Structure 1
Amino acid sequence: MFATSIPGPGEISLAHNGVLFLDELPEFKRSALEVLRQPLEDGKVTISRSAGKITLPCSVMLVAAMNPCPCGYTGDSSRECRCSVPQIQRYRSKISGPLLDRIDLHIEAPSLRIEELRNSEPGESSAVMRARCEAARSVQNERFQATELASDRCNARMSHSQIRQHCAINKEQGDLLQQAMEQLSLSARAYDRILKVARTIADLAGAEHIQTAHLLEAIQYRSLDRNLFY
């Protein structure tokens, strides 16, 4: 009996229309991470083997987590980082700029202090958050109702022409975004993603148009660019 290398779905295709969570992102081989770039952009992946070629859908929400350095304590106010500068640079260099460009939100999550853990003041409930998200998705579904695929009826899947149509900003906002782009040396892809995120923030706020506060918040979510991460 002979074994055959028949192409089949991998993790990114198995997560189609769902969430693909990659923990400890820099621990993956850089070559494995780099092949994610085009599938994240196109929502499909093509696998070629000796037995044939197959194209599979892979429209996923990528969520990744990582430490700021190998020991995990860079920037921590309560613990001292034990890593050298070259160690931190090698660790962070495993994540390329083009891959980061394809991630809409960069969120820093500093460690919580004991008094914060003991705080019993209630925050926004999951039920309220879910209602806000469902309302925003309903707006987006109506906005893109002409789109053939239901999975594409969201801001994240907007084409460049749709961004120009639905993410219009005024001159003052345009100047603000241009200044941020120049200071952070952001790419054209990051420019589009900032506008998509700003549009989503506006949807969550129930706003018809992108406001300056929404744009500023979206820019703040490029924290890895701000820190010259790569």
Structure 2
Amino acid sequence: MAHKPNIFREVINTREVIIEQLRRANPKEYDLVKRKLDAIDELLRDLRSLHWIKHKKANERLDYYLKHADLNCRTTAAHYEVENINVIEQTVKYASDKIRPSVDRAISCITEAKDFETIDEAMEAYRESATHPGTYGYFLPGTSLYLPASKYDPSLSLKDCRKELARLGVYAHFVEYVLTQECNSTKLAHILSLLSTRNGKKMDREAVKMFFSGEFTLQGQHTITDQLNRLYEWLEEQNPYRSVNQLEEAELDAGNAD
């Protein structure tokens, strides 16, 4: 039996294969292959977060291995002045083996999927796997990537945590009310189409993706309202007729003033 690469390499190799498929995809295949790439990218981000590795030293070495050493154990060992490279190799193997079962299932479902639903179901199952903290009964999938490990602090009372409870509430029960009662489902579907297909105006698709990627979160512009204002300003700036329209409006205003 051929030796399998560690799970980090396996996901990266799978990503490269899907990128090549995307380059060769015909228009009918493109959106499905793009969804596969998005799913693999989520797996890769989750793996790089190392949320299932609690040992501080192992976490630090793995983080360097993934982000700075190009998945090279020898480079990682040299950086930390570890003489026996086997120490790093065993750390990588332990981390890989611990999360491999859930990742293998997800990769298999994603690469073989014939429809969007299969990919979505595979990712939902992965997010709720045993390798993640036990928060999914309450919070949105993916939220745990940004949460610290649970730790009781006897110096805190629940009243001290009011702001944090409010923020977590947004990612729990309140999101259902917001999306189902305060949003227009037709408009939500339109936004999702701009994110996941090539329908609509190119600039609209680009603006939505920039918004959700946080590219409109400038210094001093942290509120959603500020970001939306920047989004619409950016869209206006892309209008090739903007300067002409502004000139015509200025001339019209001058004429009215006369």
Q: TM-score range by the shorter chain?
A: 0.3 to 0.5
Q: Which has the larger radius of gyration?
A: 2
- Determine which structure has the larger helix proportion and give its number: 2
- TM score, norm. by length of structure 2: 0.31
Q: TM-score, normalised by structure 1?
A: 0.34
- The structure where strand makes up a greater share of residues is 1
